[in-house]
Every structure is written in C-alpha cells, then in structure tokens.
Amino acid sequence: MIDMQDFEKVELKVGKVLSVEDHPNADKLMVMRVDVGEEQPRILVVGLKGHYANEELEGKLIVVVTNLEPVRLRGVESRGMLLAAQEGDNVVVLTLDRPIAPGSPVL
C-alpha cells in the first residue's frame, strides 16, 4: 500500500486527444498527441491498438498522468500515461462525461 503523501505526488490532468497514429516500430502501440493545457501538445505512446481505432480516440477528453519521467518506447519518447480500465481482454480508456478545459487538474 502507499500512503496519502505518495498518492498526492501523482499529477493527473485532463487531456484532449488531438491525433492518433500507429507506432512506426510496434504492432500494439499507438502514438497520441494530447493537449494537457501546456504550450505544446504532449506525445503519449499507448498500448491500445486492437482495442480502439485511431479515429475513435481523437477528440476524447482523457485523464493523463503528467509528472512521470519520460520514457522511450520503441524509439518514440512518451511524456505521460493515460488511465484505462481492464477486464480480461477488454480495455476501456477513462474519459470525462462533460466538457472541461485541457490541463484542468483531476482531483
């Protein structure tokens, strides 16, 4: 278990998916450009291929962990992580049910 102080270190923000492309070097990965309220969109590498078509994700408001160290996944730098739920083979991206500005904090 983690304590509340550790959990409070996680920075969650609303992100708007601007575009989604297939990863050039991986069969199960996608590359997203996401507006999280910063000057430039962030690139997220996500393992959603086979669960969503690219166009299904574009325009969605999602929850993004924004204070993770960047990582390179198959040659593409990822600067965050989206939140999703999984039940068996079913993977569902967490989305918002009402419009709110990208970059808004998730409480």
Residue 27 has pLDDT above 90, yes or no: no
For residue range 14-24, what is the model confidence (pLDDT) as tens digits? Answer: 999 999 999 98
Residue 85 has pLDDT above 90, yes or no: yes
Half-sphere exposure of 106 (CA within 13 A, CB side): 22
For residue range 91-105, what is the model confidence (pLDDT) as tens digits? Answer: 999 999 999 999 999
Domain ranges of the chain: 4-93
Helix/strand/coil for 55: helix
Residue 49 has pLDDT above 90, yes or no: yes
Q: What CA–CA distance (Å, rounded) separates 54 from 71?
A: 22
**Which one is the CATH code of 4-93: 2.70.210.12, 2.40.50.140, 2.60.40.10, 3.30.300.30?**
2.40.50.140
